[in-house]
Each structure stands twice: as structure tokens, then as C-alpha cells.
């Protein structure tokens, strides 16, 4: 595949990934496009001017979103000695932070489902013969098992990423 084709594919991916990030993280469209651009640019990063040009947005708008994304610790930058430019890159720890937040959300959800299931078990014990008040607990058991398996998988990925990030 030639560079021209790869750049066209990158533009399409920036848009697709940007829409996904925008919805998933509930951030403004341009901020999501900045993030997707930096993901697809990799460790080299992008300068402010490159982002203004490639995303066809005003300098003030790009600046505002870069500041907000830095504040959220989603992105960071590095400089090169003798070069006055900042090279914006994804914060290597942002994925680890996001995974931790997801695990916390799932833990809270597990606790909630356990409480609901315990309540329903008590109702079932009080009225074992009354089918109208009897709760089927199979969904909760299956869902708790799913959350536990998903959490275990995410923890393993997070541990690998943390070890890799700490070694860099």
C-alpha cells in the first residue's frame, strides 16, 4: 500500500475512531478527532500546527481542546532540544487510568446486583409458594459471572500495560 493510500485510510480511521471516542467518552467532536489523530500518529506525536492543518480547525479551538485534554491527562507532550515546538502524544497512562475507572464502575455494578439479588432471595424465602412474588435469580448469577470474567480479563491487560509503561 502506498503512502497516499495509507494517508487516505488514516483520515477515514480518524473520523471513525473520533466518532467512537466522542460517544464513548462524551467529549466534543474536535477533541475526539485530536485524540484519534494522536492515537494513529503514535510516539512521534503531532505539533500544534500539524493538528490545525490536518483537522482544519482554528488555532484557538485546537488550543482549547489541547488544554482540556492535557487537564484530563488524556494527552501529554514532549519537546526536542533546540526545537521550539511541542509534540503532543497520548498519555501512556491514560489507558491504564481509563481501565481503572471501568473496573471501579463494574465493581459498583457487581455490588448493586448482589444487593438486588439478596433482596430478591429474601422475598423468595418469605413467599416460597407464591409464584407471583417469586424472582428468578438466574440473570443476576449469569451477569455477576460475566462481570467477574470481564474484570479479570481487563485486570490482566491493565497489568501488562502498566508493566510495559513502567519499563519505558
Say whether pLDDT at 156 is over 90.
Answer: yes
Q: How far apart are CA 74 and CA 83, in angstroms?
A: 24
Q: How far apart are CA 13 and CA 42, in angstroms?
A: 14
**Residue 133: band (very low, low, confident or very high) from pLDDT cuts 50, 70, 90:** confident
DSSP 20-72: HHHHHHT--HHHHHHHHHHHHHGGG-EEHHHHHHHHT--HHHHHHHHHHHHHT
Whether 61 and 41 map to the same domain: the answer is yes
Last residue of a domain, one of 44, 68, 90: 90
For residue 58, the enclosing domain spans 3-90
Q: How far apart are CA 49 and CA 25, in angstroms?
A: 25
Say whether pLDDT at 86 is over 90.
Answer: yes
Last residue of a domain, one of 47, 62, 90: 90
Say whether pLDDT at 1 is over 70.
Answer: no
**Spatial strand order in the sheet of 75-79:** 46-47, 86-90, 75-79
* pTM score: 0.77
pLDDT at 48: 97
pLDDT at 104: 97
The number of domains in the chain is: 2
**163 CA to centre of own chain:** 19
Whether 84 and 100 map to the same domain: the answer is no
The whole-number average pLDDT for the span 111-131 is 89
Last residue of a domain, one of 90, 110, 140: 90
User: Which pLDDT tens digit goes with each residue over 40-77?
Assistant: 998 899 999 999 999 999 999 999 999 999 999 999 99
Whether 100 and 142 map to the same domain: the answer is yes
Say whether pLDDT at 78 is over 70.
Answer: yes
User: Which pLDDT tens digit goes with each residue over 22-46?
Assistant: 998 899 999 999 999 999 998 899 9
Amino acid at each position: 500500500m502506498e503512502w497516499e493510500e495509507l494517508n487516505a485510510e488514516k483520515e477515514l480511521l480518524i473520523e471513525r475512531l473520533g466518532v467512537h471516542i466522542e460517544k464513548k467518552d462524551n467529549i466534543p467532536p474536535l477533541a475526539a478527532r485530536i485524540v484519534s489523530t494522536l492515537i494513529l500518529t503514535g510516539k512521534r506525536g503531532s505539533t500544534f500546527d500539524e493538528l490545525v492543518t490536518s483537522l482544519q480547525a482554528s488555532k484557538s479551538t485546537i488550543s482549547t481542546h489541547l488544554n482540556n485534554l492535557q487537564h484530563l491527562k488524556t494527552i501529554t507532550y514532549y519537546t526536542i532540544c533546540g526545537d521550539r515546538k511541542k509534540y503532543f502524544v497520548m498519555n501512556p497512562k491514560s489507558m491504564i487510568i481509563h481501565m481503572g475507572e471501568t473496573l471501579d464502575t463494574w465493581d459498583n455494578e457487581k455490588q448493586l446486583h448482589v444487593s438486588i439479588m439478596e433482596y430478591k432471595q429474601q422475598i423468595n424465602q418469605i413467599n416460597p409458594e407464591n409464584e407471583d412474588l417469586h424472582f428468578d435469580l438466574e440473570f443476576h448469577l449469569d451477569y455477576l459471572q460475566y462481570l467477574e470474567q470481564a474484570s479479570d480479563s481487563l485486570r490482566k491487560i491493565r497489568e501488562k500495560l502498566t508493566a510495559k509503561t513502567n519499563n519505558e
